[in-house]
Chains A and B, each alone.
Chain A
Amino acid sequence: MGLADVLFGRKKLKEAQEERLFALSTARVTLDVELGLRPGGRAAVVFKALSSGDFVRVENDLQELLDVAARDTGSRVSRKEDEFGFNWIVVEDPDLEDLVATVHLVGSELKARGFGPQLLASLFRFDGYRHPVYFVYGYKRGAFWPFVPTGNEKTRDNAKELELKAKLEAELPIEQDLTRWLALFDAPV
């Protein structure tokens, strides 16, 4: 944040950093062998479309994006909207590498259409623990954090999350500031 932001107020949001997403593919072996976490075959990108934007254009853009993703990858891609007014692009692919690649593609396509600053996060599902384990990638931070909902009301398993952080730190860019570990309880994955 620059001095001008403090003096005159922010005029734009931080642009998305999507490059470090690929670190998740590299961490695959550790996740599987050491932590017993298998890819759940589902991931999602969450972002907020500008509501006052030209509605038809945004709709066309998103449809075009889904078509591009379906054509260029073998993944299944669909779209949802949630109660907070956020858009979710849900990606399904049994292979983690393809899943990460498609999520990256969706992110870059959104960025190319001018939604870059509106990108919030993407999240990847893993199974093999008592509850599903998610890895959230924050586009503003360019880092991952674990998210383990207990399924019991809206609570998360902090102990497990901290354990995952400690074990994966060497391989995955993990967000060090715990206050930034956004929870996404109603994620459609």
Chain B
Amino acid sequence: MKRKSFGRDRGLTLRMLFTSGLLGVLYIAFAFALIEFAGVGIVGMLVIVGGMSLVQYFTSDKLALLASGAKVVSEQQAPELHAMVERLCAMADLPKPKVAVIDTDIPNAFATGRNPNHSAVAVTTGLWNRLEPREVEGVLAHELSHIANRDVLIMTLASFFAMLAGILTRYAIFFGGGGDRDRNGPPIWLIVFLVSLATYALSYVLIRTISRYREYAADRGAALVTGAPEHLMSALQKISSGIASIPQRDLREVETMNAFFIVPTNLKSSFGELFLTHPPLEKRLAALARISQEMGRPV
């Protein structure tokens, strides 16, 4: 007898496909506009963006650890944490990542790395001290699912052109400032500027949408690995409530790491959901509850 896969969410799969498709169409249009109006050669463009993406991709594990002030800990320094990560990895059939600890009282965790063999998972001391072991396990399983799902790769690919568009909006004037003015119509730099701006704005929303879908996928992965979605649910609730009650000043130290954290620190955002990298808590809890129900059903 085979168990069916839990949390198979056709709607989520379709939405992920649709958003990625939209982003792809947008980038093709953007590339076309750049080549047509700004006269940037395809080769030049690929070198700039490709180079930046490669650097980001290959240094992602070290960069993220460095930026968050996480320290890699040995098995002697944190035996229980290592044991927990090891068991979860064995269950998920993943190689063991580097294990790091961030010395801050805010409970949180993140994972990074370009592939499962070059990955790291970090937890804050606050997470370890404030949560029950089964809840920490749920959070770690969520982070390991990000590694299993290759989320750094996906997000690097997704932000490939968004980075270029971001740079061009700032430097459009230098790109098209001189040159052929004898053509009628608006100046080229203005077109480049507007196209880049539109691309950047649209891709910003789309990338965040993809990021939210990846969070649902990682929550589902955690439920599979631990077999106990309810612990991740209580952990998420504890983490979000803890974050809301701690003064803003402490939060600023870790603000750049938001996209990788299990619950982002700037929860007070007044923008709509479109601009968030993580889905709202209630929606994540609802999705986990659904998976939990499916698991309870007899096979």
Contacts and interface: CB of A to CB of B under 8 A. Distances in A.
Interface of A: 1, 5-15, 48-54, 57, 83-86, 112-114, 116-118, 120-121, 138, 140-141, 153-155, 177, 179-180, 182-183, 185
13 contacts: A5-B148, A6-B149, A8-B13, A8-B217, A9-B218, A9-B220, A12-B6, A13-B91, A13-B93, A50-B227, A52-B292, A83-B133, A113-B1
A182 B90 CA distance: 7
B133 to A, nearest CB: 7
A110 to B, nearest CB: 11
Contacts of A49: 227
B228 A138 contact: no
Contacts of B79: 153-154
Tell me if A's interface is mostly helix, strand, loop or mixed.
loop
B72 interface: no
A60 B129 CA distance: 36
B83 A183 contact: yes
Contacts of B149: 5-6, 9-10
Given A52-B292, A121-B90, A180-B96, A114 B1 contact: yes
Contacts of A116: 2-3
B196 interface: no
Contact of B296 (A7, A14, A53): A53
Given A85-B134, A112-B1, A140 B83 contact: no
Max chain A C-beta neighbours (<10 A), residue from B5, B17, B93? B93
B154 interface: yes
Interface in B185-217: 214, 216-217
B90 A140 contact: yes
Contacts of A54: 296-298
Contacts of B87: 84, 86, 120, 182
A53 B89 CA distance: 22
A14 to B, nearest CB: 5
A12 B226 CA distance: 12
Interface string B286-298: 0000001101111
Nearest to A140: B93
Contact of A9 (B95, B214, B226): B214
B229 interface: yes
Nearest to A8: B13
Contacts of A5: 148-149
